[in-house]
Structure formats: C-alpha cells, structure tokens
Amino acid sequence: MAERTYLEAIAESLRTEMQRDERVFLIGQDIGAYGGAFKVTNGLQETFGEWRVIDAPLSETAIVGGCTGAALMGLRPVAEMQFADFVSCAWDQLVTVAAKQHWRAGTPVPIVIRLPSGGGFAGGPFHSQNPESSFAHVPGLKIVCPATPSDAKGLLASAVDDPNPVLFFEHKHLYRRIRGDVAEERFTVPIGTARLERDGDDVTLVTWGAMLHVAIEAAAALAAEDVSVEIVDLRSILPWDSDAVLNSVRKTSRLLVLHEDTYTAGFGAEILATVAAESFEYLDAPPQRLTAPDCPVPLAPSLERRFLPQVEDVLHALRELLAY
C-alpha cells in the first residue's frame, strides 16, 4: 500500500492499463504535450508516444466518435473531456451510437470517457456541472463516480476492462484534496457494487463522489450526539446497488440521499422511488433527498457555497428525518 492523492491514483491506473495492454490508448485535448488541463496525464506521452497519448482537436464529437470506431476495431480507448460539461457536445455519439451498438450489431464498445466534474473551485456554470443523471437514463452506458483514491484506481481498471461504454466521473475538487492508501499492484473494484462507508442504526445516508466526504463529516458530528448514521457510498449509479440501499433502509427505517447534482430528475429521485416501491413498510419517515437547487452553478464563491450541499445542510436534513 502507498498513500496517493485522488489524482495520483487515476494517473497510476492509466499508466498501469497502458503498460499491461497495448490496445489501450488515451485521447483528449492537451493531454499529451501539456499533460492535461489538471495534469492527470502528465508524462504519459513521453513514455508511450504520440500514437498512444493523442492530442485531439477541439471537438468532443470527433473524440468520442473516433473512440467508438477504434473500439469497434479492437482497441480500448480512454478519452478525456477537459470538463464534464463539454460532453454534451458528444451526446449523439455517446447516446445514439456507442450506447446502442451492442443492440444494433452485437459488438462490444469498450470505451472509457473520463469526465472531470463538479464544483468547489468557482468554475461557474460551464465548468462545474455533474451531468451524471442525464446519462443514467440511457441503456448501454455505465456510470461510475469514485469518492476515494483507492476506488478511483480500481474502478478505472474495471472501466477499461468493461466491454461497454463507461462514463468515469472524477471529481475535480477531490484531485489534490483527498489522500488515502492505495494498493500498488493492479486491482479492480466491481462496477455496480456499493461500499458501506460507515455502519449505523438510526438513519441511512446514501451518496457518491465528493459528497461522501461531506456525509462523513456530518455523521461524525451526529455521533457526538449519540446518533448513528449509516453511510452507503454507491460508487456507481448505472448500474446501482439497490440491494445495498434497501438492506440498509430496512435496518434504519430512514433514508436521506445526498448528491451534488441538481434536484429535479437527479439520480436521487430514482433511489427514493425504488425504496418507496420496495421497502415502504419499513419506513418510519418519508425518504428525503438533499441536492443542489435547480439552477446553474454560480460563479461567485459565496454563491457557489450556497448552491452546493454543506455539512450544516446535511445535519439539518438528518435531524429533521430523525425528529419525524
């Protein structure tokens, strides 16, 4: 084991996958000579050459379309969108082409789209979105949202192995702020399997990505008040581990879903609907979700902080659930 930042774990996983499989190549804007907008791919072009770490033109459509074609020819491309927000330019290639290719012709499309996402750094409305729920409605795609360095490394390895298109949402705010022990050898984390971050009896808190760390801080504060919060880190939202959530809710009888994406039609709604349909008789309070409001991400740091769920917001929501 070695301590790694979230960014270092992703970079290490990319290097490992390229070393073990010559079919793996990287493509994206400024990922080669410059090393990527966030320096995740720094040094990889020098190691593997310009044909395996490709500086692409400013066209997300061309990047994803090219990756789909390369995958159909037997390669395993990993594309970087400089910001997750820009993946909307490649919507047609992802949703209409890559996601449906297996149903159309029975052929695998093993592409990974790395999506630096989320707020917390005053990037404004065009560089801070969490568009995961937009793609969660699309059969044929997989969506992972790691919250820890170890999960980032293991889930990326699984994404490269997977025969389906995988959207890999890596949260920018975590890149250099989160550290943790990571196995130095290659390992995988199964896509679609949640992780129990914290065992508890009084209320279930389901989350993923950067909000896990907000949840952990809130749970620690409530522990001082003798309240036991169980935290389920989904890690993947397509597929998502409904069994882990349902089992936890059946134990605690209360549920709060926390995510950074906006409220209406966010993935939290899917979780609440499933719990209401399959575990209604176990509930002692209406299941709730705490999210960002339905508006674009503000640019001003003070407004962005109001936009993103904070520890105090989680504490308020949990106390209301417990008092119901």
Parts of the chain with a pLDDT under 50: none
Is 232 part of any domain?
A: yes
Clarify whether residues 60 and 15 are in a common domain. yes
Active site residue 137: no
pTM over 0.95: yes
Is residue 269 one of the residues assigned to a domain? yes
**Token pair for residue 236?**
């993947």
> Which own/partner pairs from 269-276 qualify as long-range (CB within 8 Å, at least 24 positions apart)?
270/136, 270/240, 271/206, 271/240, 271/242, 271/245, 274/242, 274/245, 274/246, 275/245, 275/246, 275/249
Cβ atoms within 10 Å, residue 3: 11
Residue 188 lies in a domain: no
pLDDT at 96: 96
Which pLDDT score, from 0 to 100, does residue 220 have? 98
Asked if 40 and 161 sit in the same domain, the reply is yes
* CATH number for position 53: 3.40.50.970
Same domain, 232 and 311: yes
Picking from 131, 155, 182, the residue at the C-terminal end of a domain is 182
On whether residue 140 sits in a domain, the answer given is yes
pLDDT at res. 136: 97
Residues 146 and 89 in one domain: yes
pLDDT of res. 214: 98
Out of 147, 182, 217, a domain closes at 182
What is the pLDDT at residue 302?
96
Q: Are residues 9 and 79 in the same domain?
A: yes
Selecting among 102, 127, 137, 316, the annotated active-site residue is 127
Range of the domain at 248: 195-323
In a domain, residue 215? The reply is yes
- CATH number of the domain that 306 lies in? 3.40.50.920
Report how many domains make up the chain. 2
